[in-house]
């Protein structure tokens, strides 16, 4: 009986990844160790986010991050925790965080073969009102033992080995792909373990929801404007789509993955490259979308084909259900 098996035969994230890795004879458990350090970071941030109101952690830390945005104390804390956890795993060599302008090169004594790109706490403008926020991460592997260089992380997203996010919402959910499908785990606070609750996530082929910041509409390009117009006033007899926009990428993408539909952060006249960052926002989410059977498109190309030229580069992004993204691709193709 499945329900009973789930209650008594708990598939923790560590057990799951160990099983997956055992299919690769060359694997020596390094990835499992790296992941367990990421999981530790997520658990810490989850507990800090839950306590934020009480602990008076909310408030400005008096620093601004690379993009010149105000930084909240929780961002600083989360960043510190992830960097320390990743370094001490002994499995990383380069770390790229949204909060740090420069890449961090791990000292030789703690070095391993993985490069981790991450946004420790995305959606921080939502902290004060208790809306879901999250951590996003992507993992590359160095192919040989050369001295780490910045080019090791300036690689197209399709070269990622794994990607995922952790959403701090009504429950704490970790969604991950190591390149063979997408699986979701929910933190059982009484056990302190992430348990497999969403095996083999597949995004519906077509959805009934679109998600975009429509306040930017006056600055959109033609194809984005036509797509949203089609969502609201379909001409083919189909019903209009619902709009859902939380303004927190992890939560908006999580809903898109489970319910289907589209999530867009397009280019506009004010931000010709959109807002979201290629390495640690666009790539990991695009990787997950493709692994779940959906698509991710930049307005020009498959998102995972993009070759970033700088660490904090931005790109427009359209991701979600396969058929819905086909529609957007057709609109851009028609524009030429
Ligand atoms: P942040 O990294 O500064 O938190 O910004 C990223 C967030 C995403 O989570 C979200 O999708 C987007 O910004 C929302 O932007 P906007 O407020 O322009 O709609
Ligand atoms: Mg962010």
Q: Are the beta carbons of 65 and 35 closer than 8 angstroms?
A: no
What is the number of the ligand 1 atom nearest to the C-alpha of 119? 2
Ligand 1 center to residue 274 CA distance, Å?
A: 10
DSSP string computed for 173-211 = EEEEESSS--EEEEEETTTTEEEEEE-S----SS-SEEE
What is the number of the ligand 1 atom nearest to the C-alpha of 126? 4
DSSP string computed for 53-80 = HHHT--SEEEEE-TTS-EEEHHHHHHHH
| pLDDT by position in tens, the chain (length 336) | 556 656 788 999 999 988 888 877 666 789 999 999 999 999 999 998 888 766 655 555 555 666 666 555 888 999 999 999 999 999 999 999 999 999 999 999 999 999 999 999 999 888 888 899 999 999 999 878 889 999 999 999 999 999 999 999 989 999 999 999 999 999 999 999 999 999 999 999 999 999 999 999 999 999 999 999 999 999 999 999 999 999 999 999 999 999 999 999 999 999 999 999 999 999 999 999 999 999 999 999 999 999 999 999 999 999 999 999 999 999 999 987
The fraction of the chain above a pLDDT of 90, given in percent, is 79
Task: Retrieve residue 175's tokens.
Answer: 């969604």
The CA dihedral of 305, 36, 106, 161, to the nearest 10 degrees, is: -20
From 45, 132, 276, the mutation candidate for ligand 1 (largest count of ligand atoms within 8 A of CB) is 276
pTM: 0.93
Task: Retrieve residue 276's tokens.
Answer: 């979201």
Ligand 2 center to residue 274 CA distance, Å?
A: 13
Block residue for tokens 């990383």: 92
Distance CA 90, CA 325 (A): 40
Please, which residues bridge with residue 265 across strands? 317
**Residue 130 CB–ligand 1 contact under 6 Å:** no
């Amino acid at each position: 009986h499945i329900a009973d098996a789930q209650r008594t035969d708990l598939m923790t994230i560590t057990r799951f990844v160990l099983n997956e890795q055992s299919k690769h004879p060359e694997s020596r458990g390094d990835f499992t160790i790296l992941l367990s350090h990421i999981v530790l970071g997520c658990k810490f941030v989850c507990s800090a986010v839950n306590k934020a109101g009480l602990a008076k952690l909310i408030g400005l830390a008096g620093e601004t991050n690379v993009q010149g945005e105000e930084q909240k104390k929780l961002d600083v804390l989360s960043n510190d925790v992830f960097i320390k956890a990743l370094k001490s795993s002994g499995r990383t060599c380069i770390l790229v965080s949204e909060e740090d302008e420069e890449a961090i090169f791990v000292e030789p004594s703690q070095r391993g073969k993985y490069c981790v790109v991450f946004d420790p706490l995305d959606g921080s403008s939502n902290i004060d009102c208790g809306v879901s926020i999250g951590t996003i991460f992507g993992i590359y592997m160095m192919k040989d033992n050369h001295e780490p260089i910045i080019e090791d992380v300036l690689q197209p997203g399709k070269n990622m080995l794994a990607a995922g996010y952790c959403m701090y919402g009504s429950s704490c959910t970790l969604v991950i792909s190591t390149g063979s499908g997408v699986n979701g785990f929910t933190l059982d606070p009484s056990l302190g373990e992430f348990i497999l609750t969403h095996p083999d996530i597949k995004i519906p082929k077509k959805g009934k929801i679109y998600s975009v910041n429509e306040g930017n509409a006056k600055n959109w390009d033609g194809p984005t404007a036509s797509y949203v117009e089609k969502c609201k006033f379909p001409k083919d007899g189909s019903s209009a789509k619902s709009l859902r926009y939380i303004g927190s990428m992890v939560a908006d993408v999580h809903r898109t993955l489970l319910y289907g539909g589209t999530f867009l952060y397009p280019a506009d006249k004010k931000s010709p490259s959109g807002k979201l960052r290629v390495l640690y926002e666009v790539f990991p989410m695009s990787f997950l979308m493709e692994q779940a059977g959906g698509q991710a498109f930049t307005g020009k190309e498959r998102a995972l084909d993009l070759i970033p030229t700088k660490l904090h580069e931005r790109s427009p992004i359209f991701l979600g259900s396969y058929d819905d993204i086909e529609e957007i691709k057709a609109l851009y193709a028609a524009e030429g």
